Amino acid sequence: MRGRSGWLFWLGLAVVLVAIGWFGGRQRVDGPPLDPSSTGPLGTRALTELVEEYGGSVRRGSPTADTEVALVLVDRLGDGERSELQQWVRSGGRLVVADPSSPLSPGLSDLVSNRALDQGRCEIPELANVQLLEAETFVRYSIGSRSPCFGNDQVAYAVSEQFGEGQIISLGGAIALTNQELDKADNAVLAVNLLASEGGELAIVFDPAQLGGERSLGDLIPTSVRWLGWQLVVAFGIYLIWRARRFGGVVLEPQLVEMPGSLLVRASGELGRRSKGHPGAAVRLRRDLERRLRSEHRLPPDLDRAGVVSAVGQRTSVNPELLARALLGPPPADGGDLAQVVADIDSVAAAALRPTPAMSRSTPHEVPGD
- Please check whether residue 163 is in contact with residue 189, taking contact to mean a CB–CB distance below 8 angstroms: no
Q: Collapse the DSSP code of 80 into the 3-class scheme (helix H, G, I; strand E, B; otherwise coil) and give the result.
A: helix
pLDDT at 362: 43
Per mean pLDDT, which range of 47-51, 190-194, 336-340 is the poorest? 336-340
Strand bridging mode 57-60 / 201-205: parallel
Return all residues near 23 (Cβ < 8 A) that are at least 6 apart: none
**Worst-scoring range by mean pLDDT, 67-71, 230-234, 243-247?**
243-247
Q: Is there a contact between 300 and 367 (Cβ–Cβ < 8 Å)? A: yes
Mean local confidence (pLDDT), 75-86: 88
Whether the predicted pLDDT of 195 surpasses 60 = yes
Angstrom distance (rounded) from CA 194 to CA 17: 47
User: What's the pTM?
Assistant: 0.51
Secondary structure letter of residue 113 according to DSSP: -
Q: Are 121 and 156 in contact (CB under 8 A)?
A: yes
Which pLDDT belongs to residue 5?
Answer: 57
Tell which wins on pLDDT, 367 or 171: 171
Lowest mean pLDDT among 103-112, 203-212, 360-369: 360-369
Q: Would you give the distance in Å from CA 172 to the centre of its chain? A: 43
* Rounded CA separation 65/355 (Å): 112
What is the residue-averaged pLDDT of the chain?
79
Name all contacts of 307-315 with Cβ < 8 Å and 24+ positions apart: 307/367, 310/367, 310/369, 311/367, 311/368, 311/369, 312/352, 314/368, 314/369, 315/355, 315/356, 315/358, 315/359, 315/362, 315/368
Domain ranges of the chain: 45-209, 263-360
Q: How crowded is the C-beta side of 16, counted as CA atoms within 13 Å?
A: 16
Confidence of residue 247 (pLDDT cuts 50, 70, 90): low
Q: What percent of the chain has pLDDT over 90?
A: 9
Alpha helices in the chain (DSSP H): 2-24, 45-53, 79-90, 187-195, 223-243, 261-274, 278-297, 305-315, 320-328, 335-352, 357-360
Q: What pLDDT is recorded for position 169?
A: 92
> Which among 145, 191, 76 is positioned nearest to 156, based on CA atoms?
145
Q: Which residue has the higher pLDDT, 12 or 366?
A: 12
Per-residue pLDDT tens digits for 11-29 = 766 776 666 666 555 555 5
Condensed to tens digits (0 to 9), the pLDDT of residues 60-72 reads 888 888 888 999 9
Of residues 356, 272, 287, the one with CA closest to residue 327 = 287
Higher pLDDT residue, 204 or 246? 204
Do residues 72 and 97 lie in contact, with contact meaning Cβ atoms separated by under 8 Å? yes
